[in-house]
Amino acid sequence: MLEKQYIGRFAPTPTGRLHRGSLVAALASYCEAKKNNGQWLLRIEDLDPPREVKGASQSFIDTLTKLGFQLNQKTIYQSNKTRQHAYQKTLNQLIQEGHTYYCSCSRSELKDINIKDHKCRNKKSTPQKPYSINLKVPDCLIKFKDRIQGNYVKNLFNDCGDCILQRKDGLFSYQLAVVVDDSFQKVTDIVRGIDLIDSTPWQIYLNSLLNYQQPSYAHIPILINKTGQKLSKQTFAKEIDTEKPIEILVNAYNLLLQNSFITTPKTLHEFWNKAISQWNINKLDTIQSIQV
């Protein structure tokens, strides 16, 4: 029996330009894919237009290209009508199969409420005021072995609770779209930041409901600043400067605790050849954060 080809992906949100934290995530997923002779895909998760920064999506592509990342398929945009149709079709299926409910509660009404006491969970009628469509989770354990963080176990009902699949404003949620797109693109392995690990139980459960193939997960440590904050747009992480691409890449690679470059590569081709050949994801074993 032939082994499945490894298919990995990088899926940034265009709420700002590429910074060091997101570059590290891209580099780790890319090296792992190429080390396994696999494909590496780029997906722009532009689900929330009000939060988007103009030009950020194209900036991602331009920056990755200048740094020598090579894409194996055409970039997917979640805002595309075809993808939006796919999310709606999947949501309709989940509604018809009884896995959802309508919620018209405000944030203040939901504050500190126990999931068992959520008044919307067992209602069948459609609310007369704006509502979200939520996934109704069962009382069950979700277990998986993360390739970096090890065994991960959560009670879906008690630890995670229900999640939104479509917001009150009609926008589809990340949890729904990511599952639909990973299946559509036949993604086999997901390498991403540990800040997303708590979303994984919902995604595993949705995969099981939809009879999708379960991908393998590896959650890499996030970069944090001296005050312990995640390096992000919200903490004013600086945009990647591509004027010195090799220097930027070597620095990001070294942050991932790989074998350091004894001599600086002269070309991008030389950098990537060495980075991929000596890449070892096991060096990140159980590490959750790296201070920069």
- DSSP strand pairing (141-146 vs 150-155): antiparallel
Identify whether 112 is part of a domain: yes
Q: Is the CB of residue 93 less than 8 Å from the CB of residue 75? A: no
Q: Is the CB of residue 136 less than 8 Å from the CB of residue 101? A: yes
Count up the domains in the chain and report the number.
1
Identify whether 36 is part of a domain: yes
How many whole angstroms separate alpha carbon 54 and alpha carbon 17? 10
- For residues 131, 142, 38, 265, the Cα torsion angle rounded to the nearest 10 degrees is 90
How many whole angstroms separate alpha carbon 34 and alpha carbon 55? 28
> Residue 257 belongs to a domain with what CATH number?
3.40.50.620
Identify whether 271 is part of a domain: yes
What single DSSP character describes residue 67? T
pLDDT of residue 122: 87
Identify whether 2 is part of a domain: no
Mean pLDDT in order along the chain per 10 residues (292 residues): 84 91 96 97 96 93 96 95 98 97 86 80 86 96 97 96 96 98 98 97 98 98 87 72 93 92 92 97 95 88
Coarse DSSP helix, strand, coil percentages of the chain, rounded to the nearest 5 percent: 40, 20, 45
Q: Tens of pLDDT along 257-291?
A: 998 888 899 999 999 999 999 999 999 999 999 99
Which pair of structure tokens corresponds to residue 131? Answer: 């509502």
Q: Tens of pLDDT along 37-67?
A: 999 999 999 999 999 999 999 999 999 999 9
Identify whether 151 is part of a domain: yes
pLDDT of residue 2: 56
Nearby residues of 170 by Cβ (< 8 Å), 6 or more positions away: none
Identify whether 1 is part of a domain: no
Identify whether 245 is part of a domain: yes
Identify whether 117 is part of a domain: yes
pLDDT of residue 226: 85
Q: Note down the domain range covering 91.
A: 7-291
* Angle of CA points 78, 231, 267, to nearest 5°: 80
